[in-house]
Amino acid sequence: MTTMQKFHAHWPTLALLAAGVLHTLVLGTLPLFVAGMVAELNLGEREVGWLASADMAGSALAAVCIIAFVRRVPWRPIACVAIALVIAGNLTATRATGFETLMLTRVVAGIGGGLILSIVFVGLCRSTSPDRYFGLYTFSQLGLQALFLSFVPSILKAYGVDVLYLLFAAISAGCLVFVLSFPKSAPSASGADAPIANAGGSRLSPSAIIALAAQGIYFLAPAAAWAYFERIGQTFGLTLDAIGPALGAAAVVGITGAASVVVLGTRISRMTSMVLGTALSIATVALLMGGSGFAAFLVAAALFNFAWNFTFPYQMGTLATLDDSEAVPILSLLVQLMGLALGPLAASFLNPQGGYQTILIACMGCYVASLVLFRVAERKRASVSEPVEFSKHVQEVGTFSLRPLRIPQDIPLVHDWVTREYAKYWGMQNKSVQEVEAMYREIVRPGHVRAFLGLYDGTPSFLAECYRPSEDVLAAYYEASQRDRGMHILIAPMQKRIPRFTWHAFTTVLDYLFSDRSVQRVVVEPDIRNEKVHVLNRRAGFVVEKTIELPASPAQPAKVALLSICTREAYAAASSGGNDG
């Protein structure tokens, strides 16, 4: 695919991402936003917690309502309704004269924002690269937050909080441009690093339930602390004019937390990364318990933001590996919103008038409890056997296994592979996700072809197709036997070099085919121009029979191919001769 074609293919997801980022501005400016509302109506400390919870409570309510039908309703009309609610809530807030009225307007705006974010989370989780999109989502969110926090204090001081309401309404209206590019409905689930234990099931796995609870508990802590950050800044001896720039600078540092995840990926295990992020969060809370001066507050706020935004993407990655139920993305959003809503509310009952020590100690407890529950969830998943059809372990390399390809869940991942330049011989470079899904449904429809996702240490790393040549068009080109099997293999883009990886993946498919004692020969028909695979075939014991011209089929384009055969004996000899790595 050309660069422009790739951008066009990703644009609907990018439109979702942009709308989601813009509708999180209330959260990003929460400490100063709440300060403006409190000053406008001369409210007390307890009302601070209630107002800080209002938008999040509305969003959580929206997530509860949409979770049952988000995959069945048209997304663009729902997004338009959501934006209308956000605009109405903010415009009505400018007319609010009391605490109860203001609370109601914030809940209405929150419902609209929650509907948008529910759609966005499903869309990002069902994209071809969920980790990359969530990294970009967090990165963009923090960048915009830093920009806003730099001038919100000046706006509040000069014009009051009503201008913020109007600004939020205008931004939401502007998102209608992105809604035009939204997917018309929920896309198919991605297979990227997908779990297997609950494939296609509607019930959540126990490990996913535990992890969702862990994420909800985690979000209680930063939400509680963040709502009172402006107040905590005052205990450092700072004024609002100093606190605003400090929080803006801290948001910039928070961006590096998200960027670190994009750079590191899973080079360090997700659990190790969450341990590091949680430890840093606890250390940051300790710094907030006692300090004075601008520098101390700035360091504490910066590390707070870094740790929060470093840990969150790994939580999403962990959830993605625990369960592939289509409810998980919205449930994740829901527990985050519940944590964000209940955190400030719970903190308001922890005697903020007498200081903030109790709130911060409670935050530490939430951080520790969340990490423990995530660890329990991972161990519970590890104890569940996965429906892998074939597996082998290569010493000092890792475990290679095959599981049936899930359609449509795995198709976005497969689409990402088959449209790469190096996969040109598969003939799918200009195909959309929907076209690739249709092709694979047609490929496996006759029943004699099976498609597999190859896993390396549990991570999707190659694609394999196995078939019976005697029931395929190939039977017209040689004397096919019922004991013959055919195969195709495609290696995924590699993030790091693993010695002899292609060979080990290739022989995993051959070992699987020959594990059936009735199979005596494996047949391949690679494109005559594909020199790399010819070398691999010769190494495994394949012998070229003849050159053939194959017509186009659902599995491949028309091509001139080298019909090659490997007998059980030839493969055994090649393997025993040291070619098995």
Residues 572 and 542 in one domain: yes
Residue 334 lies in a domain: yes
Candidate from 191-195, 207-211, 428-432, 518-522 with smallest mean pLDDT: 191-195
Residue 4 lies in a domain: no
Summarised one tens digit per residue, pLDDT across range 229-259 is: 888 888 888 888 888 888 878 878 888 888 8
Residues 336 and 424 in one domain: no
What is the 8-class DSSP label of residue 204? P
Residues 377 and 395 in one domain: no
Residue 5 lies in a domain: no
Residues 114 and 91 in one domain: yes
| Per-residue model confidence (pLDDT) at position 199 | 39
Q: With bands split at pLDDT 50, 70 and 90, how would you rate the model's confidence at 447?
A: confident
pTM above 0.85, yes or no: no
Provide the number of structural domains found in the chain: 2
Q: Which one-letter amino acid corresponds to residue 9? A: A
Q: What three-state secondary structure class fits 480?
A: coil
Please check the confidence at residue 7 and state whether its pLDDT lies above 90: no
Residue 562 lies in a domain: yes
Contacts of 384 by beta carbon, 8 Å cutoff, 6+ apart:
197, 205, 207
Residues 375 and 462 in one domain: no
Residue 1 lies in a domain: no
Please check the confidence at residue 416 and state whether its pLDDT lies above 90: no
> For position 489, which CATH number holds?
3.40.630.30
Q: Tokens 């709308």 correspond to what residue?
A: 19
Please check the confidence at residue 488 and state whether its pLDDT lies above 90: yes
Q: Which of these three, 382, 408, 428, is where a domain ends?
A: 382
Q: With bands split at pLDDT 50, 70 and 90, how would you rate the model's confidence at 170?
A: very high
Task: Count other C-beta atoms under 10 Å from residue 565's C-beta.
Answer: 18
Please check the confidence at residue 306 and state whether its pLDDT lies above 50: yes
Please check the confidence at residue 27 and state whether its pLDDT lies above 50: yes
Residues 457 and 499 in one domain: yes
Residues 461 and 501 in one domain: yes
- Please say whether the beta carbons of 9 and 129 come within 8 A: no
Average pLDDT across the chain, whole number: 84
Q: What three-state secondary structure class fits 15?
A: helix
Highest mean pLDDT pick, 33-37, 99-103, 350-354, 478-482 = 478-482
Residue 296 lies in a domain: yes
Q: Which of these three, 354, 382, 410, is where a domain ends?
A: 382
Average pLDDT (348-366) is 82
Q: Cα dist. 258→32, 38, 225 in Å?
A: 23, 31, 20
CA triplet 495, 500, 506: central angle to 5 degrees? 95
Residue 176 lies in a domain: yes
Residues 434 and 367 in one domain: no
Task: Provide the token pair at 266.
Answer: 């899973």
Average pLDDT (269-292) is 89
Residues 68 and 157 in one domain: yes
Q: With bands split at pLDDT 50, 70 and 90, how would you rate the model's confidence at 476?
A: very high
Q: Cα dist. 196→155, 241, 374, 433, 506 in Å?
A: 51, 52, 18, 21, 22
Summarised one tens digit per residue, pLDDT across range 61-94 is: 888 888 878 877 899 999 999 999 999 998 998 8
Please check the confidence at residue 147 and state whether its pLDDT lies above 90: no
Please check the confidence at residue 103 and state whether its pLDDT lies above 50: yes
Average pLDDT (524-552) is 93
Average pLDDT (1-10) is 61
Render 495-561 in DSSP notation, one character per residue.
Answer: SS--TTHHHHHHHHHHHHHHTSTT--EEEE--BTT-HHHHHHHHHHT-EEEEEEEEPPBTTB--EEE
| Per-residue model confidence (pLDDT) at position 197 | 38
Please check the confidence at residue 21 and state whether its pLDDT lies above 50: yes
| Per-residue model confidence (pLDDT) at position 385 | 46
Q: Helix 328-348 crosses helix 206-227 at what angle (to 10 degrees)? A: 40
Q: Which one-letter amino acid corresponds to residue 579? A: N
Q: Which of these three, 382, 406, 432, is where a domain ends?
A: 382
Q: Cα dist. 335→332, 340, 420, 554 in Å?
A: 5, 8, 37, 43
Alpha carbon distance, N-terminus to C-terminus of the chain: 34
Residues 246 and 273 in one domain: yes
Residues 362 and 433 in one domain: no
Q: How far apart are CA 214 and CA 194, in angstroms?
A: 20
Residues 462 and 560 in one domain: yes
| Per-residue model confidence (pLDDT) at position 210 | 93
> For position 257, which CATH number holds?
1.20.1250.20
Average pLDDT (100-112) is 89
Please check the confidence at residue 202 and state whether its pLDDT lies above 50: no
Residue 180 lies in a domain: yes
Please check the confidence at residue 112 and state whether its pLDDT lies above 70: yes
Q: Which domain holds residue 99?
A: 11-382
